[in-house]
Amino acid sequence: MYVMTTADAPLPTAAPAPVWARRAAHAVALCAVPSGLWRIAMASGVYVGYSDQVLRDVFDIPGWGIAYVVGLSVLAELAALFPLLLVSDRWRPLRPGALAALAWTASGVLVLVALWQLVVAFTVESQTYMSSGTAQTVWGIAFAPLFAIPALMTAVTWSYAKRHRARGQA
């Protein structure tokens, strides 16, 4: 006769992520797309507001700057997919506590990066490279969604931590 002990008992599963958290996680991934497309356009030689001399001297395009800009776009999009782990019911690469700690750390870093980017965006040097007001407007539209990422990531992280804290108490 088989008797189930606490060592054999299945771990309680966390409640599924709420719909709003799933939508927020997907929105994070979508927020990174416009700036990535803008960078790829810049690397491809499409005029984005920088003169050929600025592209050559500051960004090293053509040259290694192309690999850097495209690599940055790919890395940013991969990082923007991280919140999908927090709402996934299928794949758990880390223990819930470790993943929650990593997510809270990522949220904090994103808030600091967003604040730093605001400082950089409004410095005189970064504004003098663009050649026209239209180019600056397009740049602003492409990069504006990035500022929603810290709030969305924090909301998804909070939801994840709340669900897994409740699982631990059950």
What is the structure's pLDDT at 30? 95
| Residue 93: pLDDT over 70 | no
What's the distance, Cα to Cα, between the start and end of the chain in Å?
Answer: 28
Measured over the CA atoms of residue 86, residue 91, residue 94 and residue 95, the dihedral's sign is: positive
Choose between 97 and 87: higher pLDDT: 87
Q: 48 and 135 in contact (C-beta within 8 Å)?
A: yes
CA-wise closest residue to 163 among 12, 7, 10: 12
- Return the pLDDT at 160: 87
Q: Within 10 A of 38 (CB to CB), how many other CB atoms are there?
A: 20
- Within 8 A by CB and 6+ apart from 162, the residues are none
Q: pLDDT-based confidence at 168, cuts 50/70/90?
A: low
Who wins on pLDDT, 146 or 166? 146
- The more confidently predicted of residues 3 and 154 is 154
Tokens for 88, please give them: 């996934």
Note the pLDDT tens digit of each residue in 23-70: 999 999 999 999 999 999 999 988 888 888 888 888 888 889 899 999
104-159 pLDDT, tens digit per residue, is 888 888 888 888 777 776 775 566 677 778 888 888 899 889 889 999 989 999 99
Check pLDDT > 80 for residue 95: no
Alpha helix positions (H), the chain: 19-31, 33-44, 52-57, 64-80, 83-87, 96-121, 124-128, 133-143, 149-169
